[in-house]
Amino acid sequence: MAKASRRVKHPYVVSRKDYCGGSPIIKGTKFPVRAVVNYILKQGITPEELVKEFSHLTLAQVYDALSYYYDHEEDIERELQEYTEAKLRP
């Protein structure tokens, strides 16, 4: 996938090393970008269904999280893999 030639702003996504382990989350929540990706791109839930299920999220936040994913795909895929492996450990 081609890299973005300039730094893109994502107003609804934040990452802080001292919060949620540094994982990118939807601003004002503890909802990780990786969860948005998992629900929508891996499980096939629509963005509209996601905001209906998690009513504290907005469509703008969800779409920005997806945009962030496409700008940082390798990092988020690595997070998804690590999170899945951690859940499978006894």
Task: With 0.75 as the threshold, say if the pTM is over it.
Answer: yes
Dist. CA 87–CA 84, nearest whole Å:
5
For 14-41, what is each residue's pLDDT tens digit? 998 888 889 999 999 999 999 999 999 9
DSSP state of 89: -
pLDDT at 3 over 60: no
For 48-65, what is each residue's pLDDT tens digit? 999 999 999 999 999 999
Contact 59, 48 (CB under 8 A): yes
Spans of all domains in the chain: 30-88
Three-state SS sequence of 1-64: CCCCCCCCCCCCEECECCEHHHCCEECCCCCEHHHHHHHHHHCCCCHHHHHHHCCCCCHHHHHH
Dist. CA 31–CA 24, nearest whole Å:
9
The CATH code of the domain at 30-88 is 1.10.10
